[in-house]
A and B are shown apart, each in its own frame.
Chain A
Amino acid sequence: EDKVVQSPLSLVVHEGDTVTLNCSYEVTNFRSLLWYKQEKKAPTFLFMLTSSGIEKKSGRLSSILDKKELSSILNITATQTGDSAIYLCAARTGNQFYFGTGTSLTVIP
């Protein structure tokens, strides 16, 4: 059965902390892994990873894929209250997407 598991389920940190969110996947015909930030209604696309070991960065956020371990991490450095959201990862296989249940991140001042 194809599945994506995220950990931790929730996380509370103080502003300025660095967090690491985990995503592991077991899917057939893996194509890519995607990270989203879910706020209110619609997830915002963050990263798409297809190659192992190549870090993608966007400001304070970065992500890397490990195809050997079937996992990915999302790092957020110097967290801000605006980073509070649910972070979703999804594994794409062909035309199907399998989403994890998300990690709820709360950043307190």
Chain B
Amino acid sequence: NAGVMQNPRHLVRRRGQEARLRCSPMKGHSHVYWYRQLPEEGLKFMVYLQKENIIDESGMPKERFSAEFPKEGPSILRIQQVVRGDSAAYFCASSPGEAGGYTFGSGTRLTVV
């Protein structure tokens, strides 16, 4: 079991392009969370998904950001028309249920040039 896999590890996009970040949860985990790394070393919650459902997207910016977790395949965090301020590390975590047991991926570092 390879744990939570995020790819790519590094992603460079020009302003205005789209960024797609992928997260494959651990086997048996049906809950996925996306976070953005803040400069002060904190992790800001973005969205919580279960298979085919968005449970809580209260941390997602209203525009340009979307997330999905299809029945088959990884969870995708999509950022349209990226801007410099989107440059950050994005982490996902998965869990078997709501009560915890989180496993984090190693993150995707997005750089917008």
Asked if A95 CB lies within 8 Å of chain B CBs, one says yes
Please provide the chain B residues from 28 to 54 with a CB less than 8 Å away from any CB of chain A in the complex.
33, 35, 37, 40-45, 48
Among A45, A48, A99, A104, which residue has its beta carbon within 8 angstroms of that of B100? A104
Q: What are 27 inter-chain pairs, A to B, with CB distance below 8 A? A: A34-B41, A36-B43, A38-B100, A41-B33, A42-B35, A42-B59, A43-B42, A43-B43, A45-B41, A45-B43, A48-B41, A86-B100, A86-B102, A95-B10, A95-B89, A95-B107, A96-B106, A96-B109, A97-B89, A97-B104, A97-B106, A98-B106, A99-B103, A99-B104, A99-B106, A102-B101, A104-B100
Chain A residues near B71 (CB-CB < 8 A): none
Asked if A77 CB lies within 8 Å of chain B CBs, one says no
Chain A residues near B93 (CB-CB < 8 A): 99
Binding site for A on B (CB under 8 A): 9-10, 33, 35, 37, 40-45, 48, 56, 59, 89, 91, 93, 100-104, 106-107, 109
Q: How many A residues face the partner with a CB closer than 8 A? A: 20
Please provide the chain A residues from 43 to 90 with a CB less than 8 Å away from any CB of chain B in the complex.
43-45, 48, 86, 88, 90
Binding site for B on A (CB under 8 A): 34, 36, 38, 41-45, 48, 86, 88, 90, 95-99, 101-102, 104
Chain B residues near A38 (CB-CB < 8 A): 100, 102
Known: A95-B10, A96-B107. A45 touches B102 (CB 8 A): no
Q: How far is the CB of B99 from chain A (nearest CB, A)?
A: 10
Contact B43 A102 (CB under 8 A): no
Given A42-B42, A95-B10, A97-B104, 6 new contacts (CB under 8 A): A34-B41, A42-B45, A48-B41, A97-B37, A97-B89, A99-B106
